[in-house]
Amino acid sequence: MAAGLYLIEVKGHPASGLHWPPDCEYPRPYVAEVVRDVPVAVVDQEGSSASRDLIRRIDATDSTAVVAALSALPDAQVLFIARLAGVE
């Protein structure tokens, strides 16, 4: 598993208005070079059904893999530092 981990923070706005994945198409000659299953941790401070739906949509894409959904940024920071140190 890759040591990298990206954080996505969802707070204070209606997630239902967001579309995931963004409406764009990658140029066909480069499709094989698309990064897949990038591990992400989501900080869901809203905790609404819309934000949970957004997390499911993010996880459903080929490009990302939600490895954790947390309610507080400090918890995500601990996870991020542990991943960088190689501790799971």
pLDDT value, residue 27: 65
> Hey, what amino acid is at 4?
G
In a domain, 71, yes or no: yes
Lowest mean pLDDT among 14-18, 46-50, 68-72: 14-18
Lowest mean pLDDT among 26-30, 35-39, 46-50, 67-71: 26-30
Give yes or no for a contact between 62 and 28, defined as CB atoms under 8 angstroms apart.
no
In a domain, 79, yes or no: yes
With bands split at pLDDT 50, 70 and 90, how would you rate the model's confidence at 45?
A: confident
More confident residue, 24 or 19: 24
In a domain, 22, yes or no: no
With bands split at pLDDT 50, 70 and 90, how would you rate the model's confidence at 84?
A: confident
pTM of the model: 0.62
In a domain, 18, yes or no: no
In a domain, 9, yes or no: yes
Exposure string over 13-37, b if 16+ CB within 10 A, otherwise e: eebeeeebeeeeeeeeeeeeeeeee
Overall domain count for the chain: 1
Q: Return the number of other C-beta atoms located less than 10 Å from residue 58's C-beta.
A: 20
In a domain, 29, yes or no: no
Which residues are CB-neighbours of 33 under 8 A, at least 6 positions away? none
| Domain housing 49 | 1-13+36-88
In a domain, 26, yes or no: no
